[in-house]
Amino acid sequence: MFPASFEYHRVSSVKDALALLSQFGDEAKILAGGHSLLPMMKLRLAQPAHLVDIGAVHELAQIQEQGGRILIGGLATHHSVETSSIVKAKLPILAECAALIGDIQVRNRGTIGGSLAHADPAADYPAAALALEAEMTLENPGGKRKVKAADFFLDLLTTAVQAGEILTQVSFAALGAGTGGVYLKHRHPASGFATVGVAAVVTLKGTNFDKVRVGITGLGAKAFRASSVEKALAGKASDAIAAAASHAADGVDATSDTYASGEFRAELARVYTRRALEQAVARVKA
């Protein structure tokens, strides 16, 4: 099983990558870790004429802390996020999310930019990016623009990344005082992807919720913020969690496949939302 022929371009800078993308337009695709793109190319579901390999653009793989924000380059592997001392200290939920992706070999190759740009409906990072209100930096030949996670995931495998653009950085606010976050997933036993995955980030004022953010992946065509759960908890104490979590799947057209029916996925979303919220609250107190 091998991909259809293509022309391969290795670049060492974002600028060179952008130039090739604008030269070849729709014919070109970025290659990062290749762990979503190459499987699709082997199945001939994708047949790009040009591959622009950004694997050697090392500055895109950095993880830094700047002015209270954690900046993760688009090319940072899942393994580097999972083991980064900055991420573990400031955004433990994101390190845990990365550690739950696939297996060691996949985490050594797959990148955060590739995962978010690919937007697999069962990918893990989108849920965490939504709950952490991440901000994506997209670069194009005209300059840079920033897109909030809430505006990033548009549909099945479709994001705000336009043709010719590169996702160069994902920026997160470090979890502050009074805030706790958890990512939980029901792992598909064969693929490792999330049958359903829920990221919950809560901020408490005294014993009541000041801010609640819930991101859910795997349930429908795209990851989303469970705003009905968030609203149901506004200003409430944690005894309201169970009732609020029962709204987790409201209004979502749940995916059915041979492994899990839509009904089962919706139930998983409700149960995992409840558990994630309870554990997020426990982490604030801890």
Ligand X SMILES: Cc1cc2nc3c(=O)[nH]c(=O)nc-3n(C[C@H](O)[C@H](O)[C@H](O)COP(=O)(O)OP(=O)(O)OC[C@H]3O[C@@H](n4cnc5c(N)ncnc54)[C@H](O)[C@@H]3O)c2cc1C
**Which residues here bind ligand X, judged by CB under 6 A?**
29-37, 39, 74, 101-102, 106, 109-111, 113-115, 117-118, 120, 123-125, 161, 166-167, 191-193
Beta strands in the chain (DSSP E): 7-10, 28-31, 50-53, 63-66, 69-73, 135-140, 143-148, 153-155, 158-159, 166-173, 179-187, 194-205, 208-217, 224-225
Query: CB under 8 A: which stretch of 31-39, 84-92, 132-140, 166-174 binds another protein?
Result: 31-39
Q: Which two tokens stand for residue 275?
A: 């558990």
Do 114 and 120 form a contact (C-beta atoms < 8 A)?
no
Least distance from ligand X to the Cβ atom of residue 9, Å: 13
Residue 101 binds: one of another protein, ligand X, none (C-beta under 5 to 8 A by kind): ligand X
259 binds another protein (CB under 8 A): no
Q: Give the whole-angstrom CA distance, residue 114 versus residue 54.
A: 11
Least distance from ligand X to the Cβ atom of residue 32, Å: 3
Q: Give the whole-angstrom CA distance, residue 242 versus residue 258.
A: 29
Query: CB under 8 A: which stretch of 14-22, 103-111, 114-122, 225-233 binds another protein?
Result: 103-111
The position carrying tokens 């958890």 is: 182
Q: What share of the chain is helix, strand, coil (3-state, %, to 5)?
A: 35, 30, 35
Number of residues that bind another protein (CB under 8 A): 29
Q: Residue 105 or residue 261: which is nearer to another protein going by CB?
A: 105
Q: Residue 35 or residue 118: which is nearer to another protein going by CB?
A: 35
Q: Residue 75 or residue 212: which is nearer to ligand X going by CB?
A: 75
53 binds another protein (CB under 8 A): yes
Q: What's the burial of 158, exposed, middle or buried (CB within 10 Å: 0-12/13-18/19+)?
A: exposed
98-110 burial by CB neighbour count: b if 16+ within 10 A, else e? bbbbbeeeebebb
The position carrying tokens 């309201």 is: 240
178 binds another protein (CB under 8 A): no
Q: Residue 42 or residue 231: which is nearer to ligand X going by CB?
A: 42
Residue 249 binds: one of another protein, ligand X, none (C-beta under 5 to 8 A by kind): none
For binding to another protein (CB under 8 A), which residues are involved?
1-8, 10, 31, 34-35, 38-39, 42, 51, 53, 55, 79, 102-106, 108-109, 190-192
